[in-house]
Amino acid sequence: MLSRLVIFASGSGSNAENIIRYFRSSKKKSKTEIVAVVSNNKDAYVHRRAESLAVPSYTLSRADLTQNPENLMMLLQSLRATHIILAGYLLLIPEWLLAAFPGKIVNIHPALLPAYGGKGMYGPHVHESVVAAKESKSGITIHIIDEEYDKGKILFQAEVELSPTDTPDDVAHKISLLEQAHFPKVIDEWIEHSFHE
């Protein structure tokens, strides 16, 4: 069965680009396709990355998620989307979308959940908190999402050692390397497993 993935992203889109390139180069590319990128930010760099890779991208606002859900639902239906990948997407996914894609929305978080999760804990805020707490390690968590920020079933975690002299930027770089190495592969395995459950 063909999997048709839509990537949601709010910012630069480095993870989105990595995922697109992974599935295009994968031997399984005939089974999985990235059909679109969706952002809540019309100026997000992810749109330029998508354009350079010939992937359609769309801007849908917070209101489209909460007040006008038919706009997004019509788009996802027209794309025949089977799964949604959150790659640096900062808005809470509403219950109607969770119901439409039960167990089919996955997220990556730049810390070892349940530590440093929850509302407002994203990107630089996570890394600043990790450094302020003098943690000796951090990492990534890839998880299925539910109604609460960063609470869904964990699929995968990877950790990295931190140095006492690491700055938030140093931590961000180490986390980015983990994301690039693991996120597409975990998505691939998750999708394949979901069709055999």
* Residue 62 annotated as lining a ligand binding site: yes
The catalytically annotated residue of 109, 125, 193, 196 is 109
Contact 138, 173 (CB under 8 A): no
* Residue 123 annotated as lining a ligand binding site: no
* Residue 107 annotated as lining a ligand binding site: yes
φ/ψ (deg, to 5) at 109: -120, 135
CB atoms within 10 A of CB 120: 8
* Residue 13 annotated as lining a ligand binding site: yes
* Residue 14 annotated as lining a ligand binding site: yes
Contact 11, 50 (CB under 8 A): no
List Cα–Cα distances, 143 to 106, 150, 151, in angstroms: 6, 8, 8
- 173 flagged as catalytic: no
Rounded Cα distance, 62 and 87, in Å: 17
Q: Binding site: which residues? A: 13-15, 62, 107
Residues that are catalytic: 109
Q: Binding site for (6R)-10-formyltetrahydrofolate: which residues? A: 62, 107
